[in-house]
Amino acid sequence: MKKGYDMSAEEESILQPLLKTGKGFYVFVGVLLILTGWFLYCWYTQLSQGLIVTGMRSVYNAPNYMTYGVAEGSPWGIYVTTFIFWIGISHAGIAISASVRLMNLKKYKVVARMAEVLTLVALPMAALSIVFDVGRPDRLFNLLEFGRFQAPMLWDLSAITTYFMGTIIYLYLSLRGDIDQLALRIPRREWFYKRLAMHYEGTETEKERHKQTLWWLAVAIVPIMVTVHSVVSFVFGLMIARAGWYSTIFAIYFVVGAIVSGVAAVYSLAWIFRWLYKWQSLITDEVLKGITWALRNVLIIYLYLWIAEELTMNYMGSSAELRVSDFLFSGRYAPIFWPMVIIGFAVPAIILLKPVFIKKIFNPKLTFIASIILNVALWVARFTIVVPSLLNPPLYPTGIYIPTITEVSIITGTFWMAVLLYVAFVKLFPIIELDVVEA
């Protein structure tokens, strides 16, 4: 702390992650680095040997020329599944923050930055998941050079670019005042923070200007956020050639699924930080209850849309669509489908709905477990959207898709990298806005 500068107890508490670093932190980061190293090795293997090292090609009942691609196997596999998952996680991040600003929900300001950073780390992981899936990432410049406006994948790139750039700018502007304060509070990093604050003076006029700009940016970001996940759904929903995808409901279904995913992730983060740094007085039970309320409501809407989609597909569906359903309900993927329904959705729904019927039994820890289960279930839900349809082209069913260790290691690598990036942010900047103390 700078000589002569006194921090309040709350400020000191918020700045704990920046001021104190225990042995556990280094062990944690060390483990993450080793896991990231393993991921890099696996990606190198895939690049040097080709996608043959993945389980995306199928060896069942097909001549050699059909062993990879749309005729056999699942050419998108867990890479595209994880792409949708990360986009979903990124969704609520900035949405929560923007809602806090637009609706003046001061109570939730404590989780706003946690949510913003979540978006910032999730979006690059989503983009990377696509890079893993393409056979020739050395041709990525073709996107910028020859990209076709009719291709939903290009819409994806446009939407993700807009969302990512908007998030960086939004986060920087909301952080700038705090960075200036950090230069005072942590003198050993003064040089770094002073330059990053870029001549911020903290006058009333400047604060007002930032407030107004952030408000307008929030207004712009909310529709961008809806666009991003809608566009992801169009990659599937516009494709008539694949059973189970061609649906008008897909855009809203994806957007709501993403909100469930993102809100659950923000709850998980809020609970972890509260537990780790004893922030019970900052992230109060009321705040967690509020997030749970939102999570419960969007989960109900999601489940309603999901049931509507399944019913429409199965009541008078084409033979290929019925085959996709059979794959899930009683076929090869039933062992993951039913646990997803029962453990993944029904159990969290009961946990989240319980406080509605029985008062005063809100349990933050149990809700945290529910939020984690929900995100695992939502990953599986995306898998059940991507893979069974690819394995069931209109004419005949094909093999089975089982991801290889290489694929799983690459995908889990995105999780380790995301955690590393998040941890790096937490060590450099306050994860709770400093003016929460003033409020």
Partner 1 sequence: MTSVRTLAVGLLGLLLIVAGVSLWVLGDLTTVVVSIALASTGFLWAPLIWFIGIIVILSAALANTLPFKNYLAWLLLLVVGYLAVFVILVSVTSVILP
Q: CA nearest 84: which of 387, 413, 311?
A: 387
- Tell me the closest approach of the beta carbon of residue 155 to partner 1, in angstroms: 11
Considering beta carbons, is residue 44 or 304 the nearer one to partner 1?
Answer: 44
Considering beta carbons, is residue 240 or 356 the nearer one to partner 1?
Answer: 240
Q: Which stretch binds partner 1 (CB under 8 A): 146-154, 262-270, 295-303, 315-323?
A: 146-154
Candidates 60, 172, 191, 304: give the one binding partner 1 (CB under 8 A).
172
217 binds partner 1 (CB under 8 A): yes
Q: Give the type of residue at 255.
A: V
Considering beta carbons, is residue 155 or 345 the nearer one to partner 1?
Answer: 155
Contact indicator for 188, 222 with CB cutoff of 8 Å: no
Q: How far is CA 104 from CA 27, 107, 203, 266, 315, in A?
A: 40, 9, 22, 19, 45
400 binds partner 1 (CB under 8 A): no
Tell me the number of residues near partner 1 by CB under 8 A: 44
CB atoms under 10 Å from CB of 235, counted, come to 21
- Tell me the closest approach of the beta carbon of residue 261 to partner 1, in angstroms: 24
CA dist., res. 434 & res. 412, Å (int): 33
CA dist., res. 198 & res. 107, Å (int): 29
- Tell me the closest approach of the beta carbon of residue 149 to partner 1, in angstroms: 5
CA dist., res. 431 & res. 319, Å (int): 51
Q: Which stretch binds partner 1 (CB under 8 A): 28-36, 43-51, 246-254, 374-382?
A: 43-51
Candidates 145, 240, 315, 359: give the one binding partner 1 (CB under 8 A).
145
169 binds partner 1 (CB under 8 A): yes
Candidates 107, 139, 289, 427: give the one binding partner 1 (CB under 8 A).
139
Candidates 32, 102, 168, 300: give the one binding partner 1 (CB under 8 A).
168
- Phi/psi at 200 (5° precision): -75, 130
SS (H, E, C) 215-263: HHHHHHHHHHHHHHHHHHHHHHHCCCCCCCCCCCCHHHHHHHHHHHHHH
191 binds partner 1 (CB under 8 A): no
CA dist., res. 41 & res. 38, Å (int): 5
Q: What is the DSSP letter of 7?
A: P
What is the dihedral angle through the alpha carbons of 255, 260, 261, 263, rounded to the nearest 10 degrees?
120
240 binds partner 1 (CB under 8 A): no
What residues make contact with partner 1 under the rule CB under 8 A? 44, 47-48, 50, 131, 136-151, 154, 157-158, 161-162, 165-166, 168-170, 172-173, 176, 198-199, 206, 209-210, 213-214, 216-217, 220
